Amino acid sequence: MLCNSLRTCRRPCVGLMRDASMRPLLPAPFSHANRTQFLVGRLRCITSSTSSAKAAAPHIVVDVDRDAISQHQAVNADVNALHANCNFSDAQSAHGSKSAFELLTAIGVFSSCRLPFLIRNAEYFLDLSYKTLGHGITNAVMKHTFFRHFCAGEDRHDMKPVIEMLQKNNIGPILDYAAENDCADSSESAAGLQGIFSQPPFNQPARVYDYKSEEECDRHVSIFQECIHSVHDVSPVGFAALKVTALGNPELLERMSTMIVEVKNLFAKFQPENGSGGLISREEFAQCYRQHFHVDADHLEAVIESLDPNDTGVVDFISFAEMLTPYNLPSFTFKCKSIGPLARVTPSSDEIVLMKRMSERLHTLAADAALNGTRLLIDAEHQKYQPAIDNLVVELQKKFNAKDKTDRPIIFNTYQCYLKDTLERVEMDLKRSERYSFHLGAKLVRGAYMEHERERSKNLQYPCPIHDTAEDTHQCYDEVVEYLMRYRWQNGSGTEIMVASHNQASIEKAVVLMNQLGLQPQDPNVYFAQLFGMRDNLSFPLGSQGYNVFKYLPYGKVEEVMPYLLRRAAENSAVLGDSVSELDMLKEALYKRIIGR
């Protein structure tokens, strides 16, 4: 019934509800049985909601065999067996490989992380130490405390012992060159510098993208290439992490995101009141297109043919977004009958050149990764950049994750489950992967910018994009994991999922679900990941039982990496502050080491 009600609701497009409260989020409380029914329904709804919808795109999944699922659940669901095999409360299995000094260091680090005042003002104290004690002493102290605990080393040579230790425990590396290397924002860096002057059309304000920012982005390509080569040298199954804000001007990314959002908003306007499943008939689309654009009959026919090449009689958002990309937006907005929101975000020719350069940098790195057998994890960032990042990732996935070129994804996108529209975005990307025949790679996290997103939405007076409570975020995370796991179970290999979480309950649910679905611990399409120096009580037991586990390993020069670590610590202060159980296990491990047990 829930599935049927979703089919008849007014849903302009996945993820496009203008009022966040209207989105068909999962109700709470939600029992496991009801959640399973809901997610199974979503898997069935994802392909189509009417017969016309079925013709619009290839099927994504086969119909669900509910009896088979029930049989798997009845035979395999055994939480007690999980706890017997993966003991997440055993200090010895979590910290037995650490020396006494490493245990003492970890206890000191986590004790400090429980002090909110220290975390909030860490950058200030670091600067003060540099000024009073000097860089040499400060860096030496940091290298043997916080840096040693959370980072793998300064270079490839330093990282080797750490990676070897992890590999002995069946844990793979995710290398992240962790210097604060975001390209400078034009608004902050262009003053007094020569740059690329951009005058967008329709009386938009002029912008200057300075040459220094572009040079920094080009330099970062070499840095990320070194990271890719390091992964290739130290591990045949490793990942390299990549930040898009290091490869393109943040202001340009924000501009690009605004363009993408306005294209979505335009499609929502095209959707009729009685629309279904984000689909628009050819006739309705033609009528709306004439209302907004100056167009002759031949041009309109060509547009509709490009949007509906299989003559299904309907147009969907995926085809619409493929047509109105940021790169070719001017060719459409110059035909607008009035200067509306879409026209007012039209990029200039210089901005289009810069966007293409950013895309070229990403393609260079993706090609290098594919050549070296290394996978790329594209980090999620602030929501104001995320639509552009998602758009760029899809470009990469269509080329480098293509099913006719590889049997597994090379490019992974990151989904922050504290965002209210995450499940719908995952659905949309699964549709895209089927439409364009590529493997979807999905890393699932809760999200690292909660305070920033709430403050920004409040200041700019728009609905907050993140869930109202931690419980809602936990529920969303578990639902997206289950949704993708069931998709993987129904469709075999291809889609790969990384459960990147420090939440023990979510890890336990994911492991139990794998068991219920008959997915083996060593299933090549499911991974788990935690940050280096945190939640070893999850990583090491999972590795010992054969699960595919990875540690996120920041590296780089101490003085370059520390600002990054401190900023991430502030963003994740709630996670670091809630380290009581981890601290207790470290103390227990040290106590047993002292008494010789």
- Per-residue pLDDT tens over the stretch 351-363: 999 999 999 999 9
Alpha carbons 295 and 193: distance in angstroms, whole number: 43
- pLDDT band at 34, cuts 50/70/90? low
Identify the pLDDT of residue 236: 84
Tokens 């979505």: give the residue: 264
Bridge partner residues of 550 (DSSP): 172, 529
Residue 55 is encoded by which pair of tokens?
């013709």
Burial class (CB in 10 A: 0-12, 13-18, 19+), 477: buried
Residue 401 is encoded by which pair of tokens?
């994750």
Mean pLDDT lowest among 1-10, 40-49, 396-405: 1-10
- pLDDT band at 52, cuts 50/70/90? very low
Residue 262 is encoded by which pair of tokens?
């306005």
- pLDDT band at 572, cuts 50/70/90? low
Residues whose CB is less than 8 angstroms from the CB of residue 371 and which lie 6 or more positions away in sequence, other chains included: none
Alpha carbons 562 and 137: distance in angstroms, whole number: 14
Q: Which domains does the chain have, with CATH numbers?
A: 261-345 (1.10.238.10)
Alpha carbons 269 and 264: distance in angstroms, whole number: 9
- Per-residue pLDDT tens over the stretch 208-263: 667 678 899 999 999 999 999 999 998 888 999 999 999 999 999 999 999 999 99
- Per-residue pLDDT tens over the stretch 307-346: 999 999 999 999 999 999 999 999 999 999 999 999 999 9
Buried residues in 188-226 as b, exposed as e (16+ CB within 10 A): ebbeeeebbebebeeebeebbbbebbbebbeebbeebbe
Alpha carbons 597 and 589: distance in angstroms, whole number: 9
Please report the sign of the dihedral spanned by the C-alpha atoms of residue 70, residue 72, residue 74, residue 77.
negative
**What's at 391, amino acid-wise?**
N
- Per-residue pLDDT tens over the stretch 459-487: 999 999 999 999 999 999 999 999 999 99
Alpha carbons 390 and 318: distance in angstroms, whole number: 13
Identify the pLDDT of residue 13: 37
Alpha carbons 74 and 213: distance in angstroms, whole number: 58
- Per-residue pLDDT tens over the stretch 128-171: 999 999 999 999 999 998 899 999 999 888 999 999 999 999 99
Exposure of 246 in the CB half-sphere (CA atoms within 13 A): 21
- pLDDT band at 22, cuts 50/70/90? very low
**What is the pTM for the complete model shown?**
0.84
Alpha carbons 124 and 333: distance in angstroms, whole number: 47
Alpha carbons 154 and 158: distance in angstroms, whole number: 6
Within 197-314, residue ranges assigned H as helices are 211-234, 250-270, 282-292, 297-307
Bridge partner residues of 377 (DSSP): 241, 412
Q: Torsions phi, psi of 383, nearest 5?
A: -60, -30
- pLDDT band at 565, cuts 50/70/90? confident
Mean pLDDT lowest among 63-67, 216-220, 230-234, 509-513: 63-67
